[in-house]
């Protein structure tokens, strides 16, 4: 008995030491990350208010600015300012507003830190930046209005905000490059942040007395929310990161977890329609995406048990710098779970559905489907398990953070040493937002509560003229779930009733753009028609017929 008691005491002492170490890292790294982030604003030749991605000038050269990164950084600073947690950054914030106003008038603005046009080769267009920038400025504007300051929001912010929101409203249905600037298609992250910008943009336009824009943004928001649903794949148990492109990837990408945390609304509850962090679909996506990095993909993950945190990269097929974990990816996984814990606490319950069950059973195998009130033992058990799991991702980031606390872009998948750009601003920001989420500092609501996706569909008839041999059939696949997400095993068969014209009618969401191709299948052998992919934008309502010929 004495030996058992001694073991218990030792275990408790170890837990206490680990908890103290975890808290110490959070506190020290928070300060280092904040200092590193601010040191990358308006420095190294950058104009005031311009965020540099990294001071690194070789292997790789990241001495550039991106609207996406800049807006995420300043959304963080604006949140802290409006919450009264750091009012010392006001000059940085006003410089950002001024600088972004200049960049709005520059062709290809993401790139040069001196506010001149970037003329080099890069993945363009990138359509997430305007939405994120509008969100940051709207957050500031709403706060100032609540404090009685209507002049700056109306005269300085609103002219810039409406430029970005008009762009989103008019261009959301066009493809563009994803947040990694690699895939030209429709990105979950982009569509999610665009949807958010339309909702809060409509409310802000109403405050400015612009009912015409408010209506336009609301209509775009409705269409975006409908389109957002198409990224969910029940067969993959995940959100597919990129559609409208056949990129040969699994679709599992930290893109989706980043989209979830950057559209977190603390007032919405664990709502699945907007893929809130604590919702069943967001949790299953977390489970599936994280598990795609388990095993031997990264040596530093080998031997880590199921149900424990692992180091995460962008996507498992990544070859950039030979494919490694990223700090912002590992920390994003923690942040989603901290946000989920906040939502469950606010709701006073955890709802375990058949969709979210795999997420919970990996942590607590005895979990069953049900609603568990905060007063229940099961609720307490699940909260404890999820908290430990979330903390595990931060602990991994801690393990591979050097003693000086600086955060690069990546760390080596075998040795854990830092790689790629040094002192990456987004890495610093991801640490801060994860720590804030752990401490239950949450952003303002953006209006996600109670939203429903009422999706109008259009009956699209595809007709393909193609001659075939006996036993050969014509099928269609494409970039949306209604067309099997390019999966030839689930391709849709066309009817040969009017041979040589093959046809099929499929209900597809209105006002969306997608890509597709016809294929021949003969005894299991698939033959694709020639490139390029076909593209179609559905009308707003009614029916539509597309007439094609095999090529």
- Over residues 461-490, the pLDDT tens digits come to 999 999 999 999 999 999 888 898 888 999
Q: What angle do CA 446, 66, 97 make, to 5 degrees?
A: 60
| Inter-helix orientation angle 129-146/67-82, to 10° | 20
Q: What average pLDDT does this structure show over 395-407?
A: 97
pLDDT at residue 85 greater than cutoff 60 = yes
DSSP states of 9-78: HHHHHHHHHHHHHHHHHHHHHHHHHHHHHHHTBS-TTPPTTPBPS-S-BSSSB---B-HHHHHHHHHHHH
- Give the residue numbers marked as catalytic: 178, 181
3 state SS of 370: strand
Over residues 235-252, the pLDDT tens digits come to 999 999 998 888 889 999
What pLDDT does residue 498 have?
95
| Cβ contact 334:388 at 8 Å | no
Phi-psi map region of 248: left, alpha, beta (phi>0 left; psi -120 to 50 alpha): left
Q: For the ranges 111-120, 317-326, 463-472, which has the lowest average pLDDT?
A: 111-120
Tell me the C-alpha distance between 413 and 390, whole Å. 20
Per-residue buried b or exposed e for 297-316, using 16+ beta carbons within 10 Å of the residue's own CB: bbebbeebeeebbbbbbbbb
Tell me the C-alpha distance between 110 and 129, whole Å. 9
Tell me the C-alpha distance between 230 and 301, whole Å. 32
Tell me the C-alpha distance between 459 and 457, whole Å. 7
Q: What average pLDDT does this structure show over 529-548?
A: 94
Phi, psi of 232 (to 5 degrees): -80, 130
Q: How many CA within 13 A on the CB side of residue 42? A: 15
Which of 94, 63, 64, 65 has its CA nearest to residue 78? Answer: 94
Rg of the chain on CA atoms, in Å: 24
Which of 462, 463, 498, 466 has its CA nearest to residue 480? Answer: 462
pLDDT at residue 370 greater than cutoff 60 = yes
Residues 6+ apart with CB under 8 A from 17: none
Beta bridge mates, 411: 418
Mean pLDDT of the chain: 94
CA dihedral (405, 79, 166, 46) in degrees, to 10, reads -40
pTM of the model: 0.87
What pLDDT does residue 412 have?
98
What pLDDT does residue 18 have?
55
CA-based torsion, 281, 286, 287, 291: positive or negative = positive
| Cβ contact 429:37 at 8 Å | yes
What pLDDT does residue 455 have?
82
Residues 6+ apart with CB under 8 A from 296: 302
Phi, psi of 33 (to 5 degrees): -65, -40
Tell me the C-alpha distance between 485 and 544, whole Å. 21
| Cβ contact 363:389 at 8 Å | yes
Tell me the C-alpha distance between 13 and 18, whole Å. 9
Q: For the ranges 137-141, 353-357, 412-416, 453-457, which has the lowest average pLDDT?
A: 453-457
Tell me the C-alpha distance between 327 and 298, whole Å. 14
Which of 501, 497, 475 has its CA nearest to residue 488? Answer: 475
């Amino acid at each position: 008995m004495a030996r058992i008691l001694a073991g218990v005491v030792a275990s408790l002492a170890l837990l206490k030491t680990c908890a103290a170490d975890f808290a110490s890292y959070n506190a020290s790294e928070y300060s280092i990350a904040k200092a590193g982030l601010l040191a990358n604003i308006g420095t190294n030749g950058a104009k005031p208010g311009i965020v540099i991605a990294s001071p690194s000038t070789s292997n790789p050269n990241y001495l550039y600015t991106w609207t996406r990164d800049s807006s995420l950084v300043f959304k963080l600073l604006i949140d802290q300012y409006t919450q009264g947690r750091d009012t010392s950054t006001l000059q940085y914030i006003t410089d950002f507003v001024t600088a972004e106003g200049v960049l709005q008038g520059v062709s290809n603005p993401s790139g040069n830190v001196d506010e001149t046009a970037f003329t080099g080769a890069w993945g363009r267009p990138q359509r997430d930046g305007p939405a994120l920038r509008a969100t940051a400025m709207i957050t500031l504007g709403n706060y100032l209005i609540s404090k009685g300051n209507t002049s700056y929001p109306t005269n300085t912010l609103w002219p810039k905000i409406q430029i970005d929101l008009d762009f989103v409203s008019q261009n959301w249905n066009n493809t563009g490059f994803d947040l990694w600037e690699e895939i030209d298609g429709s990105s979950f992250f982009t569509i999610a942040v665009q949807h958010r910008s339309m909702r809060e943009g409509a409310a802000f336009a109403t405050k400015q007395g612009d009912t015409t824009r408010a209506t336009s943004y609301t209509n775009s928001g409705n269409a975006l929310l409908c389109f957002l649903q198409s990224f969910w794949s029940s067969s993959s148990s995940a959100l597919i990161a990129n559609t409208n492109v056949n990129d040969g990837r699994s679709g599992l990408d930290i893109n989706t977890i980043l989209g979830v945390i950057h559209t977190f609304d603390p007032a919405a509850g664990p709502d699945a329609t907007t893929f809130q962090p604590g919702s069943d679909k967001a949790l299953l996506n977390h489970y599936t995406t994280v598990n795609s990095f388990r095993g031997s993909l990264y040596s530093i993950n080998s031997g880590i048990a199921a149900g424990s945190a692992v180091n995460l990269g962008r996507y498992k097929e990544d070859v950039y710098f030979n494919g490694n974990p990223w700090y912002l990816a590992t920390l994003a996984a923690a942040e989603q779970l901290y946000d989920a814990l906040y939502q469950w606490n606010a709701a006073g319950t955890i709802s375990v559905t058949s969709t979210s069950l795999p997420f919970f059973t990996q942590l607590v195998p005895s979990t069953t489907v049900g609603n568990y009130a905060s007063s229940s033992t099961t609720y307490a058990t699940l909260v404890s398990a999820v908290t430990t799991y979330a903390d595990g991702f931060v602990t991994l980031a801690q393990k591979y953070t050097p003693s000086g606390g600086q955060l690069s872009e990546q760390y080596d998948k075998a040795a854990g040493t830092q790689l790629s750009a040094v002192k990456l601003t987004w890495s610093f920001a991801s640490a801060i937002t994860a720590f804030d989420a752990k401490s239950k500092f949450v952003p303002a609501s953006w209006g996600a509560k109670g939203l429903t996706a009422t999706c109008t569909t259009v009956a699209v008839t595809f007709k393909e003229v193609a001659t075939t041999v006996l036993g050969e059939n014509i099928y269609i696949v494409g970039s949306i779930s209604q067309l099997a997400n390019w999966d030839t095993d689930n391709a849709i068969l066309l009817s040969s009733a009017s041979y040589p014209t093959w046809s099929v009618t499929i209900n597809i969401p209105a006002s969306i753009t997608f890509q597709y191709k016809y294929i021949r299948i003969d005894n299991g052998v698939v033959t694709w028609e020639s490139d390029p992919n076909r593209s179609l934008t559905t009308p707003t309502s009614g029916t539509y017929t597309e007439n094609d010929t095999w090529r």
